[in-house]
Amino acid sequence: MESTFTESGLSRLGLTWTYTLFLFLVPASIYGLDRLFSLTPDAREPPLVKPTIPIIGHLIGIIRHQSQYYTKIWNKYQLPITTLPILGGRLYIVNTPDLIATVQKQHKALSFHILSITSTINLGIMSDQASEALWANSGGDENENSLLRDGMATIHAGLKTGAAKMNLVAAETVLKSLDELDERGEVEIDLWKWAENCISLGATNALYGPENPHKDPAVAKGMMHYITNANPLLLGFLPRILSPKACNGLDVVVQAFKQYYGSDDYTKGSDLTQGRQRILTSYNLSLEDLARFETLMGLAGLVNSVPTSLWALYHVFSDPALLARVRTIVEAQTVSSDSGRKKTINLGRLAEDPYLRGVIYEALRFHSHGAGARAVVEDTLINDKFLVKKGTNLLMPYHSLHFHSETWGPTVDDFDPGRFMPDAKHKLSSTAFRGFGGGTNMCPAKNFATMEILGMVTMMVSRFDLVPREGRWVDPRDASPNMIGVITSPKDSVMVKVVRRKEVEDLEWCFAVAKE
Q: Which pLDDT score, from 0 to 100, does residue 10 have?
A: 33
Is 247 annotated as a binding-site member? no
Contact indicator for 220, 227 with CB cutoff of 8 Å: no
- Give the relative orientation of helices 128-135 and 147-161 as an angle to the nearest 10 degrees: 80
For each of the chain's 516 residues, which pLDDT tens digit applies? 333 333 333 333 333 333 333 333 444 445 455 554 556 789 999 999 999 998 899 989 988 887 788 989 999 999 999 999 988 889 999 999 999 999 999 999 999 999 999 999 999 999 999 999 999 988 777 778 899 999 999 999 999 999 999 999 999 999 999 999 999 999 999 999 999 999 999 999 999 999 999 999 999 999 999 999 998 999 999 999 999 999 999 999 999 999 999 999 999 999 999 999 999 999 999 999 999 999 999 999 999 999 999 999 999 999 999 999 999 999 999 999 999 899 999 999 999 999 999 999 999 999 998 889 999 999 999 999 999 999 999 999 999 999 988 899 999 999 999 999 999 888 888 899 999 988 888 899 999 999 999 999 999 999 999 999 989 999 999 998 777 888 999 999 999 999 999 999 899 999 999 875
Confidence (pTM): 0.90
SS3 for 92?
Answer: strand
Q: Measured in Å, how far apart are the chain's first and last C-alpha atoms?
A: 93
Distances (CA, A) of 31 to 42, 50, 54, 395: 22, 13, 7, 27
Residues 6+ apart with CB under 8 A from 138: 113, 114, 117, 146, 148
Using DSSP, how many helices (H) and how many strands (E) does the chain show? 21, 13
Smallest CA-to-CA distance from 513 within 431, 452, 465, 463 is with 452
Contact indicator for 201, 207 with CB cutoff of 8 Å: no
| CA–CA dist 400, 413 (Å, integer) | 12
Q: Which pLDDT score, from 0 to 100, does residue 17 have?
A: 34
| CA–CA dist 27, 300 (Å, integer) | 43
Q: Concatenated DSSP letters for 386-417? A: EEE-TT-EEEEEHHHHHT-HHHH-TTTTS--G
Q: Which pLDDT score, from 0 to 100, does residue 12 have?
A: 33
| CA–CA dist 414, 412 (Å, integer) | 6
Strands 110-111 and 371-376: antiparallel
